[in-house]
Amino acid sequence: MRYLYLSIIFLLSACSNCDIPYGEYKSFGGTESLTTLILNSETYTLKFEHWKPTGYENRSTLNEQGKWLCSGPEVEIKTKNGNATAELKEIGENPLGLPISTKALIFNASDNDMLSKTILYSGKSLKLLEE
């Protein structure tokens, strides 16, 4: 019983140390792909769409779900395509015209083709582009 209590305390402290808000994150512009990541309390849903120029109607789509880990502003996502790590950072000056204080998930280089070097913006940030 004592170990169960300590395990629960450890899990609660680990979860409370996460600075990444739950919700939807998306890539934006410039390529023939779209990455959407939805973070829930312990699980993620990842959707990766890829198409040839002028071939959006015939795009291929990969969907995946799994667990993610978080510590402060850093996240680790374990996918079938390999692990990917990212940090929630301010984007600074940018060509999108978003406020410099906007935060995005910036993925590190990895063997994960879907997430390597990808920048994902929160749905809230992308709504600013629509206005």
Q: Tens of pLDDT along 87-109?
A: 999 999 988 888 888 999 999 99
pTM for this structure?
0.80
Q: Could you tell me the pLDDT band of residue 74, with boundaries at 50, 70 and 90?
A: very high
Largest Cα separation within the chain, whole Å, is 61
Letter for the amino acid at 129? L
Beta carbons within 10 angstroms of residue 114's beta carbon: 22
Alpha-carbon span 131 to 119, nearest angstrom: 21
Give all domains of the chain, ordered by start, each with its CATH number: 19-130 (2.40.128)
